[in-house]
Structure 1
Amino acid sequence: MLTVGVDLAAEAVRTAVAWLDWSADGARVGRIEIQADDDMIVEALMRADKAGVDCPIGWPDAFVDFVVAHRAGHVRVPAGVAGRDWRRNLALRVTDRVVRDLTGLTPLSVSADRIGHTAMRCAGLLAELARRGRPADRRGDGVVVEVYPAASLRRWGLPFRGYKRSANLAALGDLVDALREAAPWLDLGPYERVCRASDDATDAVVAALTARAASLGLATVPTGEQAGPARTEGWIALPTTPLRDLHG
């Protein structure tokens, strides 16, 4: 089995892709690329059995309705709703609120934060994937599943904060150490050095691990009233079991 993790940014310069090959012996990092362009990402997604993409793959339904109404000049603010509460409903998807409730972490708002630029790039990548015959199901049922590495790390009991950017390389190294200890079956091989030098690379590996969890049915899925919004807004898969369960 091949799982792919994509730590997506608006441009190639902060984008990393990791390929994990799974066998009875465990998982081996077969390749990591940083500064990945669109062609490389699409080719990786085409080859993957399951791919985790760290980026919103949809916008809040309420926000889309708001923009459409605004264009037509028919915006109506709900009566009796405080401004902040109303705007929060436009800023967060159903899955964002679920992640916040389960982990205490609030994902960046795709409609109100700069992550929107990355989501625009992601939309183009998924459109190209569909043109090649592998359409993405925003609920995560297809080849692509939306992931949030910090939330995955927290669910696995691993360090999930303070390892970003070059000023925090020591903390990044601690995270890699913790990951190797928690998953002795994970072989980083020659790419361990890359993971210790680039938080983008490490997040791509975590995204690929989360994709494995989703493929095994060991991650959250939308249920009940969540299913409808997830179809258009997207759904962040959170691991539901310890990291060790990814290697049966």
Structure 2
Amino acid sequence: MRTVGVDLAADPARTAVAWIDWSSDGARVVRVETHAEDDLIVEAVLGADKAGIDCPLGWPDAFVDFVTAHRTGHVRPGTSGRAWRRDLTLRVTDKVTHELTGLTPLSVSADRIAHPAMRCAALQAELALRGHAVDRTGAGTVVEVYPAASLHRWGLAHRGYKRAANRTELARLAGELQAAAPWLDLAAFTPLCSSSDDAFDAVIAALTARAAHLGKTTQAPPEHRKAASTEGWITLPTTPLHTLHP
């Protein structure tokens, strides 16, 4: 089988895609591309058994309702307060992820991650046009992933490895990953994953997609399924990293 991981940014310059092939002998990273354009991402997802995308698949329902009401002049006067703003800025899955991991995903309605989400919305539209509509609950080929949370759940370092200033930490983390998963062959891509956090996160996204394929990730419970279908749902590993071994 093949899993794909996409570390999605607003522009191709910070976007990476990783392909992992799985067999009875283990897992092998067969391709990693940085500076990934939309066409490459779509073709990668279409060719995968399971694909993990590191980007919100939707916006908070309360935020969408608020913006719609504001556009037509129907916002209720006197509405304010921290709890109210929290519902506008965090999706249900963001709150659940915080409860389970202590990590708070960036707000897709009030942070810069909204820019990648706009691109992701267009990618979802293209996939639907190709006959592969994305089920935002994660029930289909595509699942929403959060690499830092996956690393946390697998007992690996999950902070301080981003951007050029932290290349030493990234190289150390790439080594930790290989030690924790000796069955994963990074092959010729070890130097890239040790120097580009975009490439590294794409590999983690592809590993999380494998966990989802095996049914070893969280799923939206019945009471949150409706929200997940529009807002998206972050897939979190529920078993140790070694359980992904073929």
Report the 3-state secondary structure (helix = DSSP H, G, I; strand = E; otherwise coil) of the residue aligned with 1:173: helix
Q: C-alpha displacement at 1:85, in angstroms? A: 1.4
Instruction: Note the 1:214-229 alignment, pairs <5 A.
Output: 214-229=212-227
Question: TM-score, normalization: structure 1?
Answer: 0.97
Instruction: Note the 1:37-116 alignment, pairs <5 A.
Output: 37-76=37-76, 83-116=81-114
Percent identity reads: 67
Q: Which runs of 5 or more structure 2 residues have no equivalent in the other structure?
A: none
1:125 paired with 2:123, answer yes
Paired residues, number? 246
Report the 3-state secondary structure (helix = DSSP H, G, I; strand = E; otherwise coil) of the residue aligned with 1:33: strand
Report the 3-state secondary structure (helix = DSSP H, G, I; strand = E; otherwise coil) of the residue aligned with 2:235: coil
Q: C-alpha displacement at 1:247, in angstroms? A: 1.1
- C-alpha distance in 2 between matches for 1:184 and 1:98: 31
Q: Which runs of 5 or more structure 1 residues have no equivalent in the other structure?
A: none
Q: C-alpha displacement at 1:78, in angstroms? A: 7.0
- C-alpha distance in 1 between matches for 2:141 and 2:77: 38
Query: Which consecutive segments of 4 or more residues in structure 1 shift more than 6 A?
Result: none
**C-alpha distance 226-32 of structure 1, shift in aligned 2 (>3 A):** same
**C-alpha distance 77-162 of structure 1, shift in aligned 2 (>3 A):** farther
- C-alpha distance in 2 between matches for 1:246 and 1:77: 52
Identify the match of residue 183 of structure 1 among 181, 184, 187: 181
1:230 paired with 2:216, answer no
Report the 3-state secondary structure (helix = DSSP H, G, I; strand = E; otherwise coil) of the residue aligned with 2:200: helix
Identify the match of residue 170 of structure 1 among 157, 168, 171: 168
- C-alpha distance in 2 between matches for 1:213 and 1:116: 26
1:16 paired with 2:16, answer yes
Per the alignment, residue 144 of structure 2 pairs with: 146
- Cα distance per residue 1:171-202 (max 9 Å; x no partner): 00111111001111000000001001100000
Report the 3-state secondary structure (helix = DSSP H, G, I; strand = E; otherwise coil) of the residue aligned with 2:151: helix
Question: TM-score, normalization: structure 2?
Answer: 0.98
Q: C-alpha displacement at 1:156, in angstroms? A: 0.2
**C-alpha distance 35-149 of structure 1, shift in aligned 2 (>3 A):** same
Q: C-alpha displacement at 1:228, in angstroms? A: 1.1
Matched to 2:22, the amino acid is W
Matched to 1:194, the amino acid is L
- C-alpha distance in 2 between matches for 1:178 and 1:101: 26
RMSD over aligned Cα atoms: 1.0
- C-alpha distance in 1 between matches for 2:230 and 2:124: 13
**C-alpha distance 89-30 of structure 1, shift in aligned 2 (>3 A):** same
- C-alpha distance in 2 between matches for 1:100 and 1:78: 29
- C-alpha distance in 1 between matches for 2:20 and 2:202: 10
